Amino acid sequence: GGIITQTPKFLIGQEGQKLTLKCQQNFNHDTMYWYRQDSGKGLRLIYYSITENDLQKGDLSEGYDASREKKSSFSLTVTSAQKNEMAVFLCASSIVFQNTLYFGAGTRLSVL
Partner 1 sequence: QQQVRQSPQSLTVWEGETAILNCSYEDSTFDYFPWYWQFPRESPALLIAIRPVSNKKEDGRFTIFFNKREKKLSLHITDSQPGDSATYFCAASASSGSWQLIFGSGTQLTVMP
- Contact footprint for partner 1 (CB under 8 A): 33, 35, 40-45, 48, 50, 56, 58-59, 90, 97-98, 100-106
Chain-centroid distance, C-alpha 81: 15
Q: Residue 92: phi, psi to the nearest 5?
A: -145, 160
Q: For residues 102 and 96, is the Cβ–Cβ distance under 8 A?
A: no
Residue number with CB closer to partner 1 (78 or 91):
91
- Least gap, CB of 74 to partner 1 (angstroms): 15
DSSP 55: -
Q: How far is the CB of 36 from partner 1 (least distance, A)?
A: 11
Smaller CB separation from partner 1, 14 or 56: 56
Q: How big is the chain, counted in residues?
A: 112
